[in-house]
Amino acid sequence: MCGCVYTYCVTHEEVGLAELKEIKGHALYPIADCGLMAVARKVPDEDFSEENFPENIQNVVWFEAKVREHHSIVNALAGYVTLLPFKFATVFYSEENVKAMLRQYESPMKDRLRQLVGKQEWSLKVWGSYDEVTGYVDVSNSEVRSLKKELVKSSPGKAFLLKKKKEDLLKSATQSFFLEQVQKCLHDLTPFSYRNTLQCGVTVGGGEIGLKAAFLIAKDETEPFLHEIEKRREALKAVMINLECTGPWPPYNFADVVKN
């Protein structure tokens, strides 16, 4: 039974049935109120009802397929209109509930949509092998070098304590160095963006140290932004850090209007 209304996005621009039919295989339709339009479709209760969804997301194959489908549809819609993309599994239990949401958030949605006209999101990942970045800091940091010299001249007892001190210093210096390089990179890229945000702070795990950010870029600023990305990539490469940039994407990180 198709009782849930799965909602992909909201726009303030007209989305015609012809455009929706271009997104093949999905019976999408508009739900309009107060000058806004949500793009939605009916989905089965057994997939997205409040009772069944928590169990379904434990099925990795089902979950990954549905997430890919969600992003594919939102990406396709972003080719037609300026939109506020919704997160995966934004489900309402009636069309009237969707309209109530449009009325509740009418003003902030319209304001944010006006800000997003002509802009796209680009994602940045700054990362490096933790061992390689640590190795660079090990030979370049003056405090670490000084401690290593002191270690060579120390008695066994003192050397044990100094070695532990060096390990702690190197760990702290590595994270500080990485963050300093990232902040410089983001500072140099900021003039090309309308807005930017960190998706997460510095993380260490799986043998990597990394950070993710998102930039909202005006379409006519894309070329200079990507040119600056190449310059920053070369500068970071010299200190064992990588820079990846992907996009354009729908503005997921700049559509924070509806509180789920």
pLDDT digits (tens, 9 = 90+) for 134-154: 989 888 878 877 766 666 666
Q: Which pLDDT score is estimated for 118?
A: 94
Instruction: Give the residue among 191, 192, 173 at the shortest CA–CA distance from 181.
Output: 173
CATH of 120-254, one of 2.60.40, 2.40.128, 3.30.70, 1.25.40: 3.30.70
Q: Which pLDDT score is estimated for 148?
A: 67
Instruction: Give the residue among 12, 14, 13, 77 at the shortest CA–CA distance from 41.
Output: 77
- Output the six-digit token pair for 32: 């309009």
- Output the six-digit token pair for 24: 């093949």
Burial class for 125, CB neighbours closer than 10 Å (0-12, 13-18, 19+): middle
The stretches in the chain having pLDDT less than 50 are 260
pTM for the full model? 0.82
> Alpha-carbon distance 103 to 171, whole Å?
51
The domain spans of the chain are 2-117, 120-254
Q: Which pLDDT score is estimated for 188?
A: 93
Instruction: Give the residue among 97, 9, 89 at the shortest CA–CA distance from 49.
Output: 89
CA distances from 49 to 101, 102, 190 (A): 19, 21, 42
> Alpha-carbon distance 85 to 55, whole Å?
25
Which residue type is seen at 242? N
Q: Which pLDDT score is estimated for 259?
A: 55
Other Cβ atoms less than 10 A from the Cβ of 144: the count is 18
Looking at residue 252, what DSSP letter applies? G
Could you give the count of Cα atoms lying within 13 Å of 222 in the half-sphere of its Cβ? 14
Using omega within 30 degrees of 0 as the cis cutoff, is the peptide bond preceding 54 cis?
Answer: no
Other Cβ atoms less than 10 A from the Cβ of 217: the count is 24
pLDDT digits (tens, 9 = 90+) for 144-202: 777 666 666 666 656 556 667 667 778 888 999 999 999 999 999 999 999 999 887 88
